[in-house]
Amino acid sequence: MIRGTYYRKFDAPLGEIWLASDAIGLSGVWFVGESHEPTPDSNWTRDEKTDPLLNEVVIQFKEFFAGSRQIFDLPLSINGTKFQKEVWSGLDTIPYGETTSYSGYADSIGKPGLARAVASAIAKNPISIVVPCHRVIGKDKNLRGYAGGVERKKHLLQHEIEFKFS
């Protein structure tokens, strides 16, 4: 039997989060109501807390929000263009509780002068928090767009700073 996409919602401190996984790994983490929120279709199966991977995802999210986990250890299944995957693959190199600018990040992954294209790819990250796109901010230190909303981005950064130094 071929495994399709399993999904469930998880109640997080920042609101409900959609979780999705496929045969390869975690394929999606979206806040309910965000701009990229998925619409489950006939190929998706609602998980009734039996999928081992989604159970592990929930455990790691609970640890993250409790401050006892800084790095997620999960298999990922990220769908996107080659460029998007290149951009997303380096986001986990930004240390927990720290930030970088879009242009600084573009430079760090060998894409100098492509800050806007990098920002566009970051905005389409399908695995929020686990692939920490919230750690990329404006060059002027202002928070820029986040699919889950700038307030959530702010909360995630404050959360990481609080637990990094506690």
- Give yes or no for a contact between 92 and 132, defined as CB atoms under 8 angstroms apart: yes
How far apart CA 136 and CA 142 sit, in angstroms, is 10
- Predicted confidence (pLDDT) per residue in 37-78, tens digit: 777 777 888 887 888 999 999 999 999 999 999 999 999 999
- CATH classification number, 82-164, choose in 3.40.605.10, 1.20.1260.10, 1.10.10.10, 3.90.1170.50: 1.10.10.10
Q: What average pLDDT score do residues 20-26 get?
A: 94
pLDDT above 80: residue 36? no
Q: Could you give the residue range(s) of every CATH 1.10.10.10 domain in the chain?
A: 82-164
Tell me the catalytic residues.
133
Residue scoring higher pLDDT (31 or 39)? 31
Q: Could you give the residue range(s) of every CATH 3.30.160.70 domain in the chain?
A: 5-66
Residue scoring higher pLDDT (148 or 42)? 148
Q: What is the pLDDT of residue 3?
A: 66
pLDDT above 60: residue 2? no
Q: What average pLDDT score do residues 99-117 get?
A: 95
Q: What is the pLDDT of residue 34?
A: 81
The amino acid occupying position 91 is L
Q: What average pLDDT score do residues 128-157 get?
A: 92
Q: What average pLDDT score do residues 115-126 get?
A: 95
CATH superfamily of 5-66: Methylated DNA-protein cysteine methyltransferase domain (3.30.160.70)
How does DSSP assign the chain, residue by residue?
----EEEEEEEETTEEEEEEE-SSSEEEEEETTSTT-----TTEEE--S--HHHHHHHHHHHHHHHTS-SS----B---S-HHHHHHHHTGGGSPTT--EEHHHHHHHTT-TT-HHHHHHHHHT-SBTTTS-GGGEE-TTS-----TT-HHHHHHHHHHHHHHHT-
Q: What average pLDDT score do residues 72-86 get?
A: 96
How far apart CA 119 and CA 99 sit, in angstroms, is 14
Of the listed ranges 1-10, 29-38, 104-113, the least confidently predicted one is 1-10
Q: How confident is the model at residue 1 (pLDDT cuts 50, 70, 90)?
A: very low
Q: How confident is the model at residue 8 (pLDDT cuts 50, 70, 90)?
A: very high
Of the listed ranges 11-15, 46-50, 81-85, 154-158, the least confidently predicted one is 46-50
pTM of the shown model: 0.92
